Amino acid sequence: MPAETSDNDESRAPDGTLWWELSIQPGTKAKRFGQEPRLAAWLWFNKHVGDTFTMRELRAALGPDIAQDAEHLNRRLRELRKCDWGIPSQRSDGTLAPDEYRLQEKGAQIWLDGERAKYKKFSPSARIRRLVMDQDGSRCRICGLGADDTYPEDGARVRLTIGHLVPQERLKSRGARDDLNNWRTECSRCNETVRDEIPDPEQLDEVLAGLKRLTGKEAGELLNWIRKGERPRSRVDQAYDRARQLSEPDREAVIDHLAKRVGETG
């Protein structure tokens, strides 16, 4: 059962509005109040540790401005995990229904300014994103797929983003600063913040069965990639990245050139 809130002053902002119903951040005239703080506040005051909840409950509690896109709401929940909230889904807890979550641990009270500031993260600008993608040849450094590629398992178009080599939380614990060298290009399925979106996780027995088809050289190459946690790009990869950005006539000229190099005729 939800916790009683009507007489709980802590559940309300200075103007008397319930934290999860706020639209404007307290102390400002027009700055929108974030969706993660609203989610956190609703869970804190309406659910006990161990309770379950569904997307339908969240949509009903938080209103139409946050409830229209189910995947968007899922992403906001995943963001709470970075603020020390424990919120398993069916992927990690088989006792839960597909649309159900469990409040395993209450984290930071990020609807409060002081708590929210502790978890504020550096957000890269469009210029930083472009620099990172340019230095990586617009390819995911984990799986090697590029912006114009498709995923072999389902044909979906690859969408690129950027992610961290070292998580910001770990940097903060070391007293280190985030910088350009800590970013790398990742596709949406390899990116840490959205890995839960993958519908069907790989199974160990199926992966091992596929490894049997690799040659010794290929197995050694794969071993190196897995140990490093990313797929290094060879000179051939880099040349391909450049060639594929040419116009179609120029790509045909490259094909002709390469065909002559390898001795193809006719």
Average pLDDT in the 228-245 region?
80
Between 10 and 153, the more confident residue is 10
How far apart are the C-alpha atoms of 17 and 239, rounded to whole Å? 58
Give the model's confidence band at 106: pLDDT under 50 very low, under 70 low, under 90 confident, else very high. Answer: very high
Is the model's pLDDT at 52 over the cut of 90?
yes
Cβ–Cβ under 8 Å, residues 182 and 174: no
The ranges assigned to domains in the chain are 9-118, 121-201
By C-alpha distance, which of 50, 41, 39, 45 is closest to 93? 50
Burial 162-186 (b: 16+ CB within 10 A, else e): bbbeeebeebeeeeeebeeebbbbb
Is the model's pLDDT at 28 over the cut of 90?
no
How far, in whole angstroms, is CA 32 from its chain's centroid? 23
Give the model's confidence band at 2: pLDDT under 50 very low, under 70 low, under 90 confident, else very high. Answer: very low
Is the model's pLDDT at 49 over the cut of 60?
yes
Q: For residue 199, what pLDDT is reported? A: 43
